[in-house]
Amino acid sequence: MIVDLHSHSTVSDGTMPPQALADFMGERKVEVFCISDHDTLGAYGNFEAPPGSRYITGIEINTTWRENEVHVLGYNVPREPSAINELLLYNQQQRRGRAQTMVDQLRRAGYGLTIEDVLRESDEAHSVGRPHVAKALVRAGMTENIDTAFRDLLGRGKPGYVPQLYTTPQRAIEAIREVGGIPVLAHPGRLRDRILIDDLAGHGLVGLEVFYPLHEPADVVEFRAKAKQYDLVMTAGMDFHDIRYHTRGVGMEVDAADVAPFLDLVEVFV
């Protein structure tokens, strides 16, 4: 079965508009997909599923905990305004403030960037992110490409680095569950401290993104075991943003039995 339950459009920090991303899913024969933009549901209502594909509503909430950047995917969240919107607004405000601080620090380091430059890169995005700062630096000729922007200017210890100060994963899990959603821990292999899986499993986590392009076979074995230990459903996603940097595109082939328990929990739209 080909699924992709984790992708990003121009509504957050992806480079494809929602409809183009949905069409890309259809081209790659993805049977079930989710556009899980950061801290916004803005993609929904702006695309139709291509023939042969179905979709699930979803979101990716950025959180921080014990110096870890922790992303919590929320599936089956309502498109209409709900109790989760207050949390999303808080994160969006934190994103805007973080972008401004990055610009301020870069200007003190001699890079003549403005917040207006960054916002032009974010265009229709509801959530401003570090990739928009990187794109603004590239467009202004201050760095060669996105990779060098992150490596030389925006990474930890560099002049434009600003730590994330988002909500906590515990609060994100609670907010997702409060509106009838399914909270899933995204790309656990990227955690600095994997003990967080155990912590969050005891705090209402429902699923684990076991299948992810950067997970090694040993990671998949480990996360399968964690899912079984805590009775968590398993999900799969490419975390697609931009074909220039995510050359494998969208769609991940998995055993249908592995994702069936998750699909049984959510509403799937055509």
Q: How far apart are CA 60 and CA 13, in angstroms?
A: 12
Query: Strand 207-211 to strand 182-185: parallel, antiparallel, or no bridges (unpaired)?
Result: parallel
Site of tokens 């183009």: 20
pLDDT score at 92 = 87
Q: How far apart are CA 162 and CA 213, in angstroms?
A: 27
pTM for the full model?
0.89
Quick one: tokens of 195? Answer: 């003990």
Give percent of the chain with pLDDT exceeding 70. 100
Check whether 262 has a pLDDT greater than 90.
yes
Write the CA distances from 102 to 69, 71, 204, integer angstroms.
17, 21, 34
- pLDDT tens column, 246-257: 899 999 999 999
Check whether 57 has a pLDDT greater than 80.
yes
Check whether 131 has a pLDDT greater than 90.
no
Q: Average per-residue pLDDT in the chain?
A: 94
Q: How far apart are CA 23 and CA 132, in angstroms?
A: 24
pLDDT score at 66 = 84
Give the other-Cβ count within 10 Å of 69's Cβ.
14
